[in-house]
Amino acid sequence: VLSVTNVACNGYATGKATLKVENLRGGSYMVQISPSYIARTGAGYTTPINSNTFEITELQKGNYTITFRYTPAHSGLGSGCVVTTTLQVTEPTEIGLTATQTVPAMCSNNNVATVKLTATGGTGTGTYKYEYYDANMVLKAGPQTSNIFTGVKPGVQNKFKVIDANNCS
């Protein structure tokens, strides 16, 4: 296994593994991945390989067993072999978001509130977004790196969102 790229967003199938088989000498080569990582029948799938380096893509979180089978082109190249290796693909935890009103909307502050967002899960530091429609039904939105939103208007449909470093939300 040369490299493993883990899943970017929780629940997605964006993992990837780059593998290398050495000493290919002609003949038939097959790779089997178990468990099956894409909706296929049977316990894994088998496909021919024609290069000593190849990628397995669209992997979900999980542990995989990779089996390489070599059948020589003729008996002078030996009897063939089977090599098995394993790899693990991980994913970030699911993103969660909690909004807490830290300053209520009152006449003394122009009837707007302050809301603090707390994000959990995901990958790295992200950006926060606050969306609402004004009285003219114009979408007002803006991403920011701060998790504190001032000027939050009561009585409108407020929507808060966090986007992590992998662009997951």
Amino acid, res. 25: R
CA atoms within 13 A on the CB side of 100: 6
Amino acid, res. 151: G
Pairing of strands 159-163, 127-133: antiparallel
Please report, for residues 54, 113, 116, 165, the alpha-carbon distance to residue 3 in angstroms, rounded to integers and kept in the order given. 11, 48, 39, 21
Phi/psi zone of residue 27: left (φ > 0), alpha (ψ -120 to 50 degrees), beta?
left
Counting every residue written for the chain, the total comes to 169
Pairing of strands 53-59, 148-152: unpaired
pTM for the model stands at 0.73
Q: What is the pLDDT along the chain (169 residues), one digit of tens a residue?
A: 889 999 999 999 999 988 887 766 666 667 777 776 443 333 333 455 556 677 888 899 999 988 877 777 666 666 778 888 899 999 999 999 999 999 999 999 899 999 999 999 999 978 998 888 777 877 777 788 899 999 898 888 889 999 999 999 9
Give the tokens for residue 101.
């009103």
As a whole number of angstroms, the distance between CA 37 and CA 16 comes to 11
Domain 3-89 has CATH 1.10.3720.10: no
